Structure 1
């Protein structure tokens, strides 16, 4: 296989070249070649010319060979243009599908670089091109994106409209989607009725407009395409009723939340009797049991093998409490005289051992902080609040209400049934939400929306009444959204893609660059 044959296999886009020589210098493969055609076409008038003016060498880069940079040493001819009415006297030949004016790379390499720039942006794209031995700086990649022409906008019969944040909470743009091809057709730098109306005026023929319920888009659609059918997005309608339901559940939550128990007077734990007290009770019981059977002092001493004075003491005591010395709680504590004060303060809600220690110091008691801490610990341990069953949060209840009955877990069904039994307003709200969900899922707006709105406006639930009243303000679009199959799902998908592109550019991309990537990145 000759060198020319090898190059033809590796570089099929070199078909119009005559390859003369191939060599390598370092990590660069160099190919010397020249054009095959004897004539060239003038770029000004299209006249073919065979009269050569001069020759020079171009060195465009091409795709890599085995991760090595490839450079063409291309012998280019400059031709005379003999057309009298052409403004060009001379022109340089271009190899079709290979070179272009002022290009320092082949058309294939430029296409690859443009694809990398659109997919990854500046910094990430520059790192990838460096690994592929077709390196280009980040700024050059961004210039490639900006130099790309916008895609041609044909008549858009079904248009999707939604906003996205250029700077969240401060500046928003608008993305326009062809709902039939599901491709973006334009990106507007602002979210306003004027911008949408101007675009619709410049691009007539729109028959269907899928949008959210923002007033600016409704007004812009009326002004720019008054005859188009506007369709309110079902996702946003469901989101709106979900927000109203959550506000309702938060208001009703107190009806199924039990009141907190009243604080009881704190009490200290009962301390177990000591060993000596238990022994005294056992001996007293044994002595009196023998006395009941008729035993005398001498017999009891012999039976129990106790000291006579001890037996006489137990025989004289009517109850064992007379023999147990001191209090039944055992050893006295320095806090015994202040226990009532500490228990009262604990009942009032002061449970800080540090604060109670300072108060005792102020009362003139010299006590260690450790002793007070141990006392408070016993109070806390003996006065634990009674455990109450957990009360579901408002967000959890809202989620269960908005979930399809077939998708609820058994625990969710039981919980929702208990709450509906306890709260009639929540029971009514569940029925209203279920009716709206049936319309939304099965597209029964034409049949049921009017009656559902009337019944909801007559209910005693202000949150859902407000939602129903809001539907009246955008009635035609809501009716279309609950009756036609069109929805803004593709638009929401592209909004998420815009967010991905913004994160990829670290939030530093200007709107014009972001617009190019949104429209051209496949």
Structure 2
């Protein structure tokens, strides 16, 4: 990769009309030389286009620090001549609104209101953030994920600030809880029932047995211990403190009536081929079984798949006898159907989800709880969160109940996130970009 291309993707990737000419580093400062790429610009008064250059000047813009190094952008700005008769403005500078506003000395990446990042902390621990907040008094709103270190740092460094749990991370956590619910207790519900009158014979040996081994014995002992302490009147938090376990672990065992309900099984590993398997299935059903041809068709569609991936999947299709029932949806598929907006599902996905929910009342209840939480999140109805938590706790759904009860540990911040307008979504792109830079530097 060329140096200029790297910096264009890291520093000004979202500004299409700016290109980097050179990059130099010295004395802890990264200096980036950039200029506009557009052939011309529009006069701000008469809105007429001009490509006649009157002259140039240079702006100095301070950008987001890279590690401990300051980033300085030297931007060459052209002044264009407005040739329209009657326009009072004779010359005007080309605008770079996405990079920086007029007369600004910083790029447009500072905080949530201006969609900019102010600083990069060295670790995710509470200490550095608490010190930073103490040194920067006046912080009123802190948008964060639900990591305990961030909550503690905010209480220590800015006790008067309102902590807001980010809505994206809330929905992401709920999605993981739903996947656990589907995988732990309802994987069998995804399979189509055997048709009445089927001649399918029962194997002479049992098809399902409880897992065995030392790990299973430890889980059984842990499950029995948690329920014994709960029977003595200890709360879930008290059990966690008494045993020195994480609260999530105690919640999982406490929510499971049987030890078997805590077995999560082996979740299928995602593959780059997954989005294209329906296409391969339809082509195979239509009679095209040539792996080379199918692989070529996917590559022509831009699929990032290998020949071996296609060959392995076609091999599984060849082992299915003609007239066999279709494969049941995977746990990940059902989780995606449940967590996506209904309008984003196609007709086939909606039909398959409807069949799954009709076969399993508990998954249908899970879908109802998801819809209720989605309404709270979308319409900012945070006051309804305690009632939602009580309803989910009463349903005792694996994974989902633990997620709901875990919200009580951070109830004020979660309620604020589901009520106020603040969210860190506007700077998530910058955060991911910083992580990418960090990975490439090590």
Question: TM-score, normalized by length of structure 1?
Answer: 0.41
Q: Which has the larger radius of gyration?
A: 1
TM-score (normalised: structure 2): 0.49
